Amino acid sequence: MSDFFHKLPEFVGNHPWLSALFAILVVALIVGEILRLAQKFKSINPSEVTLLINRENALVVDISPHANFEQGHIPGSRHVAMSQFDPENKNLAKARDLPIVVVCRTGQTAKGAAQRLVKAGFTRVHILHGGMHSWRQANMPMATGKR
């Protein structure tokens, strides 16, 4: 191990671009982890969503486009178009104490909706990591149609 530290300055001197790239990647990983830990919502997998639904009567809010929702969604989920998503809605406010799982097609749009819920005072907010793609890959049950 001490041999490693003796040769490190020589390596850095001979390969400055490679060393700089490595340093940038390490910093990016650290910043990404800090941002992930600072989120007030949790990213969960399909089996964790199922546990929340079965054990704690979680509310699943699907913000996918309407056509995608009709093609396949989590049974019992409620569809709300992202353009109409309002955390202050009286129906949603009733579920303030329940766990809420926000779902979209890929999991990216759900992050914005989850942040809005947290900002509105919801404390038990989750997103489905990977969205409906991960739900399908896990072979979880799907419903079709409007409800």
- Blockwise average pLDDT, block size 10, the chain, 147 residues: 84 92 95 80 94 95 92 93 83 84 92 90 93 95 84
Q: Are 128 and 108 in contact (CB under 8 A)?
A: no
How crowded is the C-beta side of 37, counted as CA atoms within 13 Å? Answer: 6
- In degrees, rounded to 5, the angle at the alpha carbon of residue 5 between the alpha carbons of residues 4 and 6 is 90
**How confident is the model at residue 121, as a pLDDT?**
87
**How confident is the model at residue 62, as a pLDDT?**
95
Read off φ and ψ for residue 14, nearest 5 degrees.
Answer: -85, -25
CA–CA dist 118, 11 (Å, integer): 47
**Amino acid at residue number 58:** A
- Both structure tokens of 110: 């759900």
Q: Is 121 helix (H, G, I), strand (E, B) or coil?
A: coil
**How confident is the model at residue 35, as a pLDDT?**
77
Q: DSSP states of 11-75 as a string?
A: HHHH-HHHHHHHHHHHHHHHHHHHHHHH-SSEEE-HHHHHHHHHHH--EEEE-S-HHHHHH-B-T
Architecture of domain 42-137: 3-Layer(aba) Sandwich (3.40)
Q: Are 103 and 65 in contact (CB under 8 A)?
A: no
pTM of the model: 0.77
